[in-house]
Amino acid sequence: MNNDLYDKRTITESGFDEQKSTVKEWSDSLARETGRAPSYFVRTFGCQQNDRDSELAAGIFEEMGFHPAVSPDVADVVLFNTCSVRANADNRFYGHLGNLKPIRKGGRPIIGVFGCMMEQEVHVDTIKQKFPYVDFILGAGDVRVLPYALVETLSDGTGKRKTLDLTTWHGLGDDTSLPVLRADPHRALVTIMTGCNNFCSYCIVPYTRGREISRAYEKILDEARRAVELGAKEIMLLGQNVNSYGNDLRKRGEVDAPTFAELLRDISHLDGLWVVRYMTSHPKDLSDELIAVISREPRVESHIHLPLQSGSDAILRRMNRRYDAAHYLDLVRKLRSCRNGITITTDLIVGFPSETEEDFQQTLHVMEEARFDAAFTFLYSPRVGTPAADWFDESQHEVVRERFMRLVEYQNECSLASNKALEGQVLDVLVDGKSRRDETILSGRTHDDRLVNFAGVLSGSSACQKSWPNEVFDSARIDRGDIVRVLIERANVNSLDGIQIL
Ligand code: SAH
Ligand code: SF4
Ligand code: F3S
């Protein structure tokens, strides 16, 4: 390896290009010798930020001459993108990693791990000690180090050396210059900022993703514009707290750096776009300016994800959320009146340390007032290194579990009622593809982010199978990314069923 191409654990842009070319030469020679190009398999845990990083990793693999493999056991390289947000994400990852041990022979598949868990010493040590067959580890989002990791691993050949720890390595450059292979070509995930400054007392993210860094407005707009030109109908803007976009730029002297509301407005004006989504909004930073943009700009989604976490002011204080229930409900009222039919979804944590029945009742009370259209509900999970982990009392497990069931039951009622109100209506749906459960059902999302299933077959399929009676439509015309009209026939808790109307 030419030492000019990296310096002090930083991969330069030219180093990145050269390392990619080196791996590509290896791929090409393998293809010549064996008649088959090498393949990769990326398994992603966690949030959309990780989904996005995996799309970049896939883009880099493709540029290096790799093809996607259908499963890890037939892949030449398996890459895990890990999440640390709750214990079950950690455990699922270790389960999948363990499953690779019997498959691995003669150093193949090459195994790499990156993502949030690799920012924590405890997991880095566990990998080195208990899973020495992992070839390399990288930090969260450090896809620019991937080609270098492969160059080093391939030059070793035997697969017998210790895990190559590159977690302190980083790459230079903006996302716009990276290749990307989008999981859904019609939906472009666009990172507007990384990291988080909020330090909610239960949350590991600020420790794994570091402080907030906003990308330049022009780069974001450029990336979104290019995605729309290539056919994206939906842009999803990503950040742990999108409402604080630009704060760091302004602090560094860029006094004119746009606010999130301005960025969202400008993206929504891109010609050819159907909807722009964004997540996540922190209630303490949701501005009137943003509410005005939501109310005025038709392409801004008719939905907001606004995590409540708890409805008890005492718990919110201990969580370091920096808003109270009254402020939250005030935002809900403003949002509901700023746009007709806007859906509001949330995240809720049950069993935060010291939560009493009274605190829990306050959460239910806020839920009654807010009438969330959907919610992600979590049992509190202690994360080593966060303040709340020291306050955790495991003996409350049964009490907490019972509260959790009550909360889910109530939310299911609200979600169903919200969906029921749409029965009989015709809605525009952006088609995502086949439903996961049934090949003959297509699924998509409405502007207000509801999941809709309807009978149909994607164009390109050999036969038009109709699973539901009495429908007349030319399903061969439907493609991913199409916007179709669907008559809603039945509401479920988490989805709507309907038929396409021509
Ligand atoms: N940045 C986003 C969310 C990031 S994590 C925000 O501020 O809302 C996604 C969700 O996971 C959080 O909203 C929270 O509800 C949940 N979560 C995070 N840490 C958790 C923990 N230790 N235990 C249980 N749920 C947790
Ligand atoms: Fe975690 Fe809070 Fe930051 Fe969200 S805002 S990522 S919950 S610390
Ligand atoms: Fe998980 Fe990291 Fe996202 S901890 S939720 S993958 S930022």
**Per-residue confidence (pLDDT) for residue 438, from 0 to 100:** 82
Exposure string (b/e) for 131-146, b if CB count within 10 Å is 16 or more? bebbbbbbbbbbbbbb
Ligand 1: centre distance to CA 139 (Å) = 20
**Per-residue confidence (pLDDT) for residue 1, from 0 to 100:** 43
Q: 40 in ligand 1 pocket by Cβ < 6 Å?
A: no
Give the whole-angstrom CA distance, residue 372 versus residue 330: 14
**Per-residue confidence (pLDDT) for residue 8, from 0 to 100:** 66
Ligand 1: centre distance to CA 310 (Å) = 11
What domains does the chain contain, in order, with CATH numbers?
5-171 (3.40.50.12160), 187-197+211-420 (3.80.30.20), 426-501 (2.40.50.140)
Q: 116 in ligand 3 pocket by Cβ < 6 Å?
A: yes
- Least distant ligand from the CA of 86: 1
CA distances from 410 to 129, 131, 255, 303, 344 (A): 45, 43, 46, 21, 16
In what helix (H) or strand (E) does residue 91 lie, and over which residues does it extend? helix 87-100
**Per-residue confidence (pLDDT) for residue 457, from 0 to 100:** 65
> Which residues does a 6 A CB cutoff place in the pocket of ligand 2?
196, 198-200, 203, 205-206, 240-241, 282
Structure tokens at 488: 């809603």
Spatial CB neighbours of 121, under 8 Å, sequence gap ≥ 6: none
Tens of pLDDT along 18-45? 999 999 999 999 999 999 999 999 999 9
Ligand 3: centre distance to CA 481 (Å) = 27
Ligand 1: centre distance to CA 343 (Å) = 20
Ligand 1: centre distance to CA 89 (Å) = 12
Q: 351 in ligand 3 pocket by Cβ < 6 Å?
A: no
Nearest protein Cα to ligand 1, atom 15: 347
Ligand 2 atom nearest 309 alpha carbon: 7
Q: 85 in ligand 1 pocket by Cβ < 6 Å?
A: yes
Spatial CB neighbours of 47, under 8 Å, sequence gap ≥ 6: 83, 85
Residues of the chain with pLDDT under 70: 1-8, 157-160, 457-476
**Per-residue confidence (pLDDT) for residue 461, from 0 to 100:** 40
End-to-end distance of the chain based on CA atoms, in angstroms? 59
Its pTM stands at 0.94
Helix boundaries (H) for 287-380? 288-296, 313-318, 325-338, 357-370
Q: 279 in ligand 3 pocket by Cβ < 6 Å?
A: no
Ligand 1 atom nearest 203 alpha carbon: 19
Substitution candidate for ligand 3 out of 209, 240, 381 with most atoms within 8 A of CB: 209
